[in-house]
Amino acid sequence: MSVQAVAWALDQYIRDAATKLVLISLANYADKKTGECWPTIARICEESCQSKSTVLRRLDWLVEHGLVVKSEMHETSGRQKANHYRLVLSRLLTQDDVASLQGHSENVREGGCQAETLPMQGEGVTVDTPEGVTADTPIEPLEEPKVTPIAPKGAGEANDRDEEFEEFLRAYDPPPMASRLTPRRHWNRLTADERKRAKAAIGPYRAACAAERPKPRKMLDPSAYLSRRIFDNFAGALKPRPPEAPAVAALRRSAGAAFAGARFVECGTAAWRAWEAVASEAAYPLRAVILPPRPMAGRDREMTGRYFPSEWPPTRDGPDLLQKAAGER
């Protein structure tokens, strides 16, 4: 690849983009000193995304304008090889040169006739034929199509102020930069009764999000709240969840990854059976672990059991006597 040759090709004044692309493809393979290259027609077609016939016409145009010198190469058997091209790096095609030979890139030669297309300027186009007949066809200026600007989607809705919708937004209190058009479109699809329920469910929905644990849940965007009909889930009065028994809470806490057990309860003991009763009540699986002997830790034999926050399931007044009695049976 020759950067100098590609820069030279870019400096040429060639109005036809396809022709200039063919020249750049040749310059990509040219020697930076001699300008010689020999890419195949297939390679030029592939790089310029043009057909073979189009590439051949563009090459003829470049040869006619003195930018490229083409030499056909043949094998000893007479079979033609890839053409040899030499870029005339000392040549610089200017606008004046193109004006003197305007239209050669669009020439069509069929049966000895030549038609030359001149630039779309002046009063018309003159076409010369071999018989010497000159036809002057006036060119009518093209009228610019009238385009009616289209209003942005939802612009009409934004101009119509809906007090009921504004009241809904004030109660929902979305972020200041949140879109108002999308929630408005979903709001317009609701019936009057659904709009009342949507406004009435904002408070319970906010309370439910704030009560989520281990951390509060973020409220959805107003458009998602309306389109997913979240308000249907809060149509009735919410029933508060009964508080979890202290023994069940302690059992769940002992299953956490960050729990550091305080007491090891061995399987088969009364305390273990008491914890089993709590696990059965909470429908929670109770699994035991096997600890190998460790005399340095005061464990001289293998033990099977589990670590719990306390030896017995806790209550407000200490160990649950009913569960302890159940474990002793």
Question: What's the mean pLDDT in 5-20?
Answer: 86
Query: Rounded mean pLDDT of 235-243?
Result: 61
Q: How far is CA 251 from the centre of its chain?
A: 45
Cα gap 253→272, rounded to integer Å: 16
Q: How confident is the model at residue 329 (pLDDT cuts 50, 70, 90)?
A: very low
Rounded CA separation 184/195 (Å): 12
Q: Is the dihedral of CA 309, 313, 316, 319 positive or negative?
A: negative
Of 239 and 215, more confident: 215
- Cβ-proximal residues to 314 (8 Å cutoff; 6+ apart), any chain: 246, 247, 250, 320
Q: What is the pLDDT of residue 110?
A: 42
Contact in structure between 222 and 169 (CB atoms under 8 Å): yes
- Give the pLDDT confidence score for residue 185 in this predicted structure: 92
- pLDDT exceeds cutoff 90 at 187: yes
- The one-character DSSP state at 32 is T
d(CA 14, CA 261): 84
Provide the pLDDT confidence category of residue 98 given band limits of 50, 70 and 90. Answer: low
Instruction: Reply yes or no on whether the pLDDT at 317 is more than 70.
Output: no
93 or 107, which is more confident?
A: 93
Give the pLDDT score at 236.
62
- The CA dihedral of 106, 107, 108, 111, to the nearest 10 degrees, is 180
In this prediction, residue 261 has a pLDDT band, given cuts at 50, 70 and 90, of: low
Tokens of 13: 């004044």
pTM: 0.32
Cβ atoms of 303 and 269 within 8 Å: the answer is: no
pLDDT tens profile 283-303: 878 888 888 988 887 778 898
pLDDT beyond 70 at 191:
yes
The reply to whether omega before 152 is within 30° of 0 (cis) is no
Which tokens hold the place of 124? 């018309």
Above pLDDT 70, what percent of the chain?
72
Owner of token pair 């790096």: 89
Q: What is the DSSP letter of 138?
A: E
Gap between the Cα atoms of 139 and 311, Å rounded: 103
Residue 321 has pLDDT above 60, yes or no: no
pLDDT for 240: 58
| pLDDT tens, position by position, 62-77 | 888 888 898 887 777 7
Residue that the structure tokens 């929670």 belong to: 284
Round the average pLDDT of the chain to a whole number and report it. 77
E strand or H helix at 236: none
The answer, yes or no, to whether residue 118 has pLDDT greater than 50, is: no
Q: What angle do CA 25, 31, 35 make, to 5 degrees?
A: 75
pLDDT greater than 80 at residue 241: no
Question: What percent of the chain is modeled with pLDDT above 90?
Answer: 16
- Using the predicted structure, report yes or no on whether residue 149 has a pLDDT greater than 90: no
In this predicted structure, the answer to whether residue 121 has a pLDDT above a threshold of 60 is no
Mean pLDDT across 34-53:
89
Among residues 310, 322, 304, the alpha carbon closest in space to that of 249 is found at 310
- Mean pLDDT for the stretch of residues 244-255: 80
